Amino acid sequence: MSTLWNKGTSATEVVEKFTVGDDNILDLQLAKYDVIGSKAHIKMLKSIDLLTSEEEKILQKELDQILSEIECGYFRIEENVEDIHSQIEFILCNRVGDIGKKIHSGRSRNDQVLVDLKLFFRDKVLEIRESVLELFNTLQRLSEEHKDILIAGYTHGQIAMPSSFGLWLGAHAESLADDMILLKAAYKFANQNPLGSAAGYGNSFPLDREMTTKLLRFETMHYNSIEAQMSRGKCEKSLAYAMASIASTLNKLATDCCQYMSQNYGFISFPDSLTTGSSIMPHKKNPDVWELVRGKANRLLSVPNELALLCTNMPVGYHRDYQLTKDIIFPAINTCLDIIRISTYMLENIIVNKDCISDKKYQYLFTVEEVNKLVLEGMPFREAYIKVGKDVNEGKFSQYVDKYQSVNDLHHTHIGSIGNLATKEIARKMKRAWED
């Protein structure tokens, strides 16, 4: 196998297969970032006279060609090549000769892969952000569209107090705004330049790390070379925690949808094309999409712990264990994007039941409303509570149900209630979460 670090002694095929793992597959996702990092690096090398202007021109032109091949889908990591870094350097050497060997001056494969990962994570965080915003906007739109339609709120699995589609959907929207705070933190963590830290201890070349920081549009750099290498694993965990937070929101949304679709609730439904049937029960409309969102969200919740266990008990410096972080975080990113996007698609096709509360089982949904009404008329709360409770026990409360048919009948006015959803305030909260 072709490797950058080969010194003339080949590992056995068994060892090569074990140590390379899935790098030659996973690294395709890093291909363009490896080129982008290399382009910045050689520009810096030219500025400190480790490359001539002509050499840099030749290398930049060939790297642009490789980047074009990557973007067009022509690029491959050959079967006998260890990883993306080896593949690109070998291509350069084949095409431009010994000049290609100079591209690695002043850097280690350790800071090279760190740059690739930071650039990759930075882009993926932005991609996740856009998907979250689309879901957020859908939830807010639906919340306003159906804000006057009452549904039952439950606590302990028991019918509790009146809620509304507006309050329910708006809750998940605001939860995403909180998730965005962690996503922004993951972005800031990734947006730091490790290039120039080499194997973790710098080197004797007069590298211009400020220059590469600007060229790669990093907000700042990892100043200490050892700390730059320490960010491996920690950066992945930062992103994993953000995705786990989003997954927690989607898990609860999915569980709600599974319940609310059932005949025992009947709050919502979806077109037949978005549900599945039973192999023997012709009446079934199963919430398979939401069940899979819930299951995949649960798997994402385990990712921070898996990374934490992988990256613990290691002293400073690079260790091959870190290679395995890609096996964990790369699929997790794809899963996160998938469940956000399918959730948005499903909600765009939601059908709400405008007559949810007419069912007889909701006759006690408004007991608190009656208690509060008596309190507002001057009765002490405890006396009002006892009076309404006695009416319930004696079967007299059903006479009150018909008084409450919409949000407007309930007169809830405080911020965050069914009569005052604070939709605009939540939108501002989402905006601040990223901008602050």
Q: Which residues are catalytic?
A: 156, 278
For helices 423-435 and 109-145, give the axis angle rounded to 10 degrees. 170
Tokens standing for 122? Answer: 């930075």
Residue type, 159: I
CA dist 352 to 127, 147, 266, Å?
A: 30, 11, 9
For 352, phi and psi rounded to 5 degrees? Answer: -95, 145
Tokens standing for 189? Answer: 């963590």
Q: Among all chains, which residue has been given the structure tokens 């220059």?
A: 211
Continuous H helices in 7-83: 13-20, 23-26, 31-47, 53-71
Given a contact cutoff of 8 angstroms between Cβ atoms, the answer to whether 327 and 21 are in contact is yes
Rounded Cα distance between 326 and 23, Å, is: 8
Nearest by Cα to 187 from 125, 244, 243, 249? 125
Rounded to 10 degrees, the C-alpha dihedral 66/72/74/76 comes to: 70
Q: Which residues pair with 220 in a beta bridge?
A: 192
Q: Pairing relation of β-strands 150-155 and 158-164?
A: antiparallel
Given a contact cutoff of 8 angstroms between Cβ atoms, the answer to whether 96 and 58 are in contact is yes
Nearest by Cα to 109 from 136, 140, 88, 123? 88
Which residues make Cβ contacts (< 8 Å) with residue 393, sequence separation at least 6? none
CA dist 95 to 56, 58, 61, 80, 100, Å?
A: 14, 10, 11, 18, 8
3-state DSSP assignment of residue 269:
strand
Q: Among all chains, which residue has been given the structure tokens 């069914």?
A: 418
Count each helix (H run) and each strand (E run) in the chain, helices first. Answer: 15, 6
Tokens standing for 91? Answer: 């291509």
